[in-house]
Every structure is written in structure tokens, then in C-alpha cells.
């Protein structure tokens, strides 16, 4: 789950990180009222799940209330990389002496957490890495041991920050690591982390991605989940507990397991088709789960054929077949279905499905055969052949 900046700062604040006072606003009047409570000068900042806000005119300094009103009116409704601004963060402005960059994420190859810190903040870290890689100080943290103060101090010293910032930066890095680990985040990033003219180290921006699979440990994640950008298809799937990502093709995809779903999307592309979605129904392909999946895909007007790709593992093939048959009895499917069923007890499952096969429900022996059949049927539906 990607958080808005103001949510990221709320998240950071819970771990003791120094963030600026601010308020969320959904209208010009709310922005003005927030600025009056905070006191000018303030920053008027677009809240969208994408980068490049400043370049797009989505971040403005407001020295007076009239400036707040003008900037809020211009930014609300602004399209930034396909994301329309519907909320603003009105934040007390900070004086900046120096800008730094700090982040934690997972280094999968090293199987350790990776911290990055640079004295060159305020720009994209990819640019720093390409133009001056030596400006990035890195630390690998064994998850079993955690980040010690000694390691954090060596890391901060290696980043060549202003010496007056060292002690505070060490404290911020330790708290940022705690937020990253205890908060079940995939990424925590501060850009910029600033040093003020008074010598304070302060968080001026927040980019946070949380692990959606950890929601059961964090009831407060519900507030973040509610603001995730989803189209109508994704919202409907989410309401049914399905793992769904909408795409732009005509072949609807249903598979059990994220790896198989990704492979199915790939093989549809490989044989010349375009998948309409990624949909993982998980291991329990019972009648209700299958019915929910078919209903979601059936409501996508661009879908011309549905490709169900099931490999029975823990869930046995005959149970999968019963689920599909039950789903077909409860959902009025418009698009034809191409089915591939393999794995545990697949023969029994195919035997159960055989009496139900017709022009609307066809079965193929392999994933590649099924993908080719689905793509051909989708093309025929588009051309009217």
C-alpha cells in the first residue's frame, strides 16, 4: 500500500520522527482555514500516489492567505502523471539550510535490509546514483540483529553530512529503521531530510509503502487501505477479497496463486494477446470464490474471453471443478471461458467438467494451448468472425 505524504508523516510521527505540523484539505476553503490555524507561511502540497509533484506545479510556497487560496485553486483537480489531485496537505513551512536523502528497503539479493543516506537530497536518488554514486552511503542490516547505534553512526559519518547534524541524524535513522521494521513497510523514504538554519534535522517529505499482507497485525492500516487508488473493477474485487489488478486487454485471467497468475498473463502476451487483468483466487478455488472472480471479470466490458488457469495443489482438482460448476450456476457469464485444469486429481476434475463443456466452456490440456485458444476467441469476438 502506497501512502499519501500526509499519511506517511502520520506513520513516521508514531515512531517519534520529527515532522511538520499540517492539515489535510479537500477544498479551497478548507485549505485557507487550515493555513489560518497553522499560521503562514505554509506549503500547499498535492497529495497523489505518484512522484513529480513539484515539477508538475503541485507543491507551492504560500507566504500569505491569498497565496494559499490561489495555489489551492490551481492544484486541486490538477492531473499529475494520470493522478487527479483531490486532496491537499497544508504544512507549516520550514527554512532549509541543507537537504539530505534517507531510506530503508529490502535488498533481496543480499537478504538483508538496505539503508541509503546521502548528503545530496531534494533530487531523485536514481539521478544521484547515476551521476555521483559515491555520494550515497549504504548500510546492510541483518534482520535478526537490527540496526545498532554504532552501525548507524558509522553509516551517517560515511554519508558526509554536516557534522552538526550527526547526532540527530543517527537518532532519526534509528527511528526510521524501527518504523520500517515494526511498521511492516516495504519502503520508507525521506527526501528531503533537512537541516534547518537552527541546526535541527527534520523530515520534510515522506514516501511510505506498507506490506498489505501485514494488515492483520495493524488494524490502523484500514485507514490507508481505504485511500488506495483503484478503478471500479479493482474496487469490486477488493470488496470480495480478491487479488486483482486491472489491465487494458481483452482476455480475462483467473488463476490460483500469484506466480501462476503472473505466468498466465505472460503467456497470453507471448501468444499475441492482451490480458485484461491479473486475478489470483488463491488456493481455495471453491464455488463462492470462483463465482466472485467470474462476476468481477464479467463486469469488465472489454473482456471478450475468460481464461481460467488452475493447477491443483493442496486444493484438489475435483474440488476446483465443483467450484467452477457451482459458479456457472450462479453467475450469468457473457464471455466464453477457456479452461486449463492440471495438478492433483486433475483427471477427476476434468471428468466432472466434461458434461458441461460447450461453445461457451471449452477445455485445453496445457496452459499454452489454452492461451492460444483464448487469444484466438478474443480476436474473433473483436472482429465479429
Domains of the chain, each with CATH number or no CATH: 21-92 (3.30.1490.20), 98-223 (3.30.470.20), 232-383 (3.40.50.261)
244 in active site: no
Alpha helix (H) residue ranges in the chain: 5-13, 28-38, 65-75, 125-131, 149-158, 166-182, 222-225, 232-239, 258-270, 287-298, 317-330, 346-353, 367-383
Which residue out of 5, 91, 100, 101 is catalytically annotated?
Answer: 101
Phi, psi of 70 (to 5 degrees): -65, -45
Q: Is the separation of the CB atoms in 350 and 363 below 8 Å?
A: yes
**What is the Cα–Cα distance from 115 to 360, expressed in whole angstroms?**
53
Which residue out of 23, 91, 98, 189 is catalytically annotated?
Answer: 189
100 in active site: no
**What is the Cα–Cα distance from 316 to 306, expressed in whole angstroms?**
22
Per-residue pLDDT of the chain (385 residues; tens, 9 = 90+): 889 999 999 999 999 999 999 999 999 999 999 999 999 999 999 999 888 898 899 999 999 999 999 999 999 999 999 899 999 999 999 999 999 999 999 999 999 999 999 998 877 777 887 888 888 999 999 999 999 999 999 999 999 999 999 999 999 999 999 999 999 999 999 999 999 999 999 999 999 999 878 888 988 877 777 666 656 776 766 777 787 888 989 999 999 888 999 999 999 999 999 999 999 987 666 678 888 888 888 888 899 999 999 987 777 888 888 888 888 888 888 899 999 999 888 999 999 999 999 988 999 999 999 999 999 999 988 766 5
Give the predicted TM-score (pTM) of the model. 0.73
Q: In this predicted structure, what is the pLDDT of residue 80?
A: 94
Amino acid at each position: 500500500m502506497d501512502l499519501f505524504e500526509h499519511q506517511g508523516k502520520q506513520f513516521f510521527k508514531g515512531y517519534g520522527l520529527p515532522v511538520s505540523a499540517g492539515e489535510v484539505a479537500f477544498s479551497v476553503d478548507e485549505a485557507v482555514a487550515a493555513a489560518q490555524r497553522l499560521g503562514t507561511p505554509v506549503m500547499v502540497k498535492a497529495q497523489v500516489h505518484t512522484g513529480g509533484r513539484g515539477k508538475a506545479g503541485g507543491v507551492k510556497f504560500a507566504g500569505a492567505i491569498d497565496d494559499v487560496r490561489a495555489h489551492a485553486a490551481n492544484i486541486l483537480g490538477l492531473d499529475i502523471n494520470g493522478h487527479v489531485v483531490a486532496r491537499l496537505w497544508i504544512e507549516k513551512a520550514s527554512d532549509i539550510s541543507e537537504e539530505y536523502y534517507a531510506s530503508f528497503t529490502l535488498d533481496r539479493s543480499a537478504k538483508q535490509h538496505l539503508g541509503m543516506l546521502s548528503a545530496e537530497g531534494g533530487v531523485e536518488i536514481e539521478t544521484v546514483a547515476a551521476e555521483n554514486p559515491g555520494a550515497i552511503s549504504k548500510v546492510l542490516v541483518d534482520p535478526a540483529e537490527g540496526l545498532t547505534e554504532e552501525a548507524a553512526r558509522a553509516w551517517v559519518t560515511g554519508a558526509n553530512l554536516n557534522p552538526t547534524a550527526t547526532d540527530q541524524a543517527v537518532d532519526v535513522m534509528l527511528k526510521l529503521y524501527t518504523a520500517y521494521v515494526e511498521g511492516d513497510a516495504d519502503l520508507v523514504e525521506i527526501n528531503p531530510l533537512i537541516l534547518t538554519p537552527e541546526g535541527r534535522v527534520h523530515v520534510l517529505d515522506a514516501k511510505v509503502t506498507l506490506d498489505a499482507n501485514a494488515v492483520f497485525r495493524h488494524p490502523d492500516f484500514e485507514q490507508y487501505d481505504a485511500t488506495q487508488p483503484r478503478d471500479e473493477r479493482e474496487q469490486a474485487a477488493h470488496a470480495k477479497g480478491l487479488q486483482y489488478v486491472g489491465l487494458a486487454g481483452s482476455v480475462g485471467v483467473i488463476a490460483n496463486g500469484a506466480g501462476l497468475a503472473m505466468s498466465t498473463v505472460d503467456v497470453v502476451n507471448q501468444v499475441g494477446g492482451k490480458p485484461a487483468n491479473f486475478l489470483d483466487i488463491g488456493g481455495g478455488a471453491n464455488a463462492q470464490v470462483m463465482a466472485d472472480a467470474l462476476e468481477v471479470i464479467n463486469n469488465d466490458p472489454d473482456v471478450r474471453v475468460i481464461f481460467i488457469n488452475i493447477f491443483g495443489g493442496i486444493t484438489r482438482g475435483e474440488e476446483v471443478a465443483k467450484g467452477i460448476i457451482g459458479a456457472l450456476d450462479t453467475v450469468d457469464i457473457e464471455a466464453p471461458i477457456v479452461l486449463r485444469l492440471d495438478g492433483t486429481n486433475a483427471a477427476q476434475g476434468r471428468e466432472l467438467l466434461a458434461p458441461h463443456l460447450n461453445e461457451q466452456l471449452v477445455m485445453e490440456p496445457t496452459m499454452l494451448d489454452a492461451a492460444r485458444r483464448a487469444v484466438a476467441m478474443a480476436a474473433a469476438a473483436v472482429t465479429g468472425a
